[in-house]
Chains A and B, each alone.
Chain A
């Protein structure tokens, strides 16, 4: 290769970003996502401050009544990172939609603009094209996640009462890394269905349907056995009442594909600064990401059809 010519992969990745940054839907969702990130920290901190204030007011009131033997503040032992727990909901909902849009638009843009024939009459192999497209998508997604981390970290620094240690900033970074794995799955699915579906609406509808299943339907079936609402990540006591055989069966069947729960478990553990039980949920997220990425790469490399090439 000539020295001053950038590698093909870099050319395609750069074009991917340039085109993405001109997509109004993407920019709108990104704006909403980053704004909500900022407010989620404030809301989390505000909620915690209010709870603390109520506790201290209660202790003071009880002291006036002669009660001095009160239970310690339950929030004293809770990781300060849990002020970010609203982000979990935003990532499960808006983040996943944003990821689907990134993956979906990546191929739909090529097909709709009709540039695929102009690309493949050049010395670009389909394998290299597939690699570059996926790299472009994941780097764009990593950029979004890093921007979100930066907003969260900056928000934390702007709230003087919220003191995060260096290790807590690292756990926060870990939380966003886990979020990247979860979002990557949906970006791959967005890309996959954009490739295999001839209809643009169907291509968007199917990954959204899968997202609905992963975030709303499957957790409803599987968490019936252990009724922790997925969208309300609260630590519950250890013992749960028996919910019957149906939910037990559903939990057995759908548990292994409950991607939302794998993400919630790993993300909450990271926000609790607890790395002890991360292997299984993070491993599952990684496995699903590898599987969806592999299938998307295969589809991109092999099934770029004559129709896409306008033949």
Chain B
């Protein structure tokens, strides 16, 4: 299936997005547009509000003010329709450990209304170069293997927008490279828009087409990677650029 976002609609659109919890404001009026087809890197310290943002975008959490839209659909009013269009890989993804990889994937595929579940699982595992593990229980899987099954569950229903929350956490260098390749292929071959929370600036430089920087719940920077590197011509890495941005605040 080819992603079907109307050409005119941005994949993700935040307008005045604010979230407060227990009298503490976690997100301050975020305004952001991510066009379709982008790989967007969402950067920020621990506690900056990245996971809260992704939780609102994936309909798991309701914001206290402002709006969030996915493919033109409101994440609160049109939550069910939004869910049909998104895939989500949480940080530290976990599954039913006593069930096999196939049983886990089949369950989530059916919840997403996928037709021809067996064929689709085989197709996705083939895409991820991960066939042959279907009938092993998840409790025997390494972190890297779980992450691949995590990606598989997120793309089974061919979402238009894929959310990845710190996808490289806990992975070894080979695992990180494999995941990076998968993200790039999902974007290029399947046309998915990808929104990725991450700490790893080197990965952002290798993967993302645009970045946003969140600091204490405020979006302090939002540009294409190309423009970012042009804006800071004297800096040797994205890491030094990021440090400069943080220091300016």
Contact = CB atoms under 8 A, between A and B. Distances in A.
B107 A121 contact: no
Contact of A123 (B92, B112, B153): B112
Given A5-B110, A5-B113, A310-B90, A121 B95 contact: no
A124 B94 CA distance: 19
A276 B187 CA distance: 71
Instruction: Name the residue in A4, A117, A121, A309 with the highest tally of chain B Cβ atoms < 10 Å from its Cβ.
Output: A121
A113 B83 contact: no
A230 to B, nearest CB: 37
Interface stretch (A14-22, A40-48, A94-102, A133-141): A14-22
Contacts of B141: none
A124 B99 contact: no
Interface stretch (B40-48, B51-59, B195-203): B51-59
A19 B99 contact: yes
Given A117-B90, A310-B90, A124 B114 contact: no
B191 to A, nearest CB: 20
Contacts of B20: none
A11 B114 CA distance: 12
A109 interface: yes
Contacts of A124: 83, 111
B93 interface: yes
Interface residues of B, number: 35
Contacts, number: 84
Given A2-B113, A5-B115, A11-B110, A120 B59 contact: yes
A25 interface: no
B110 A6 contact: yes
Contacts of A311: 51-52, 55, 60-61
Interface string B103-147: 100011011111110000000000000000000000000000000
Interface of A, secondary structure class, is loop
A64 to B, nearest CB: 67
Contacts of A8: 110-111
Contacts of B235: none
B65 interface: no
Contacts of A287: none
Given A122-B111, A123-B80, A309-B60, A22 B99 contact: yes
A122 B60 contact: no
Interface string A214-252: 000000000000000000000000000000000000000
A125 interface: yes
**Interface size class, chain A:** 20 to 34
Nearest to A109: B96
A18 B115 contact: no
Q: Which of B55, B87, B114 has the most CB of A within 10 A?
A: B55
A127 to B, nearest CB: 12
A125 B110 contact: no
A118 B83 contact: no
A121 B88 contact: yes
B97 interface: yes
Given A8-B111, A11-B111, A123 B96 contact: no
A109 to B, nearest CB: 7
Contacts of B103: 18
Given A22-B98, A113-B97, A311-B52, A15 B60 contact: no
Contacts of A119: 108, 111
A123 B113 contact: yes
B39 interface: no
A275 interface: no
Interface in B127-186: 153, 157
A28 interface: no
A310 B153 CA distance: 18
Residue in B83, B103, B111, B115 with the greatest tally of chain A CB atoms within 10 Å: B111
Given A123-B80, A311-B55, 19 more contacts: A4-B115, A5-B110, A8-B110, A11-B110, A15-B107, A18-B103, A22-B98, A22-B99, A109-B96, A117-B58, A121-B60, A121-B86, A121-B87, A122-B111, A123-B84, A123-B112, A124-B83, A310-B90, A311-B51
Q: Lowest 7 CB-CB distances: which A-B pairs, in order?
A: A114-B94, A22-B98, A11-B110, A121-B88, A122-B111, A123-B83, A123-B80
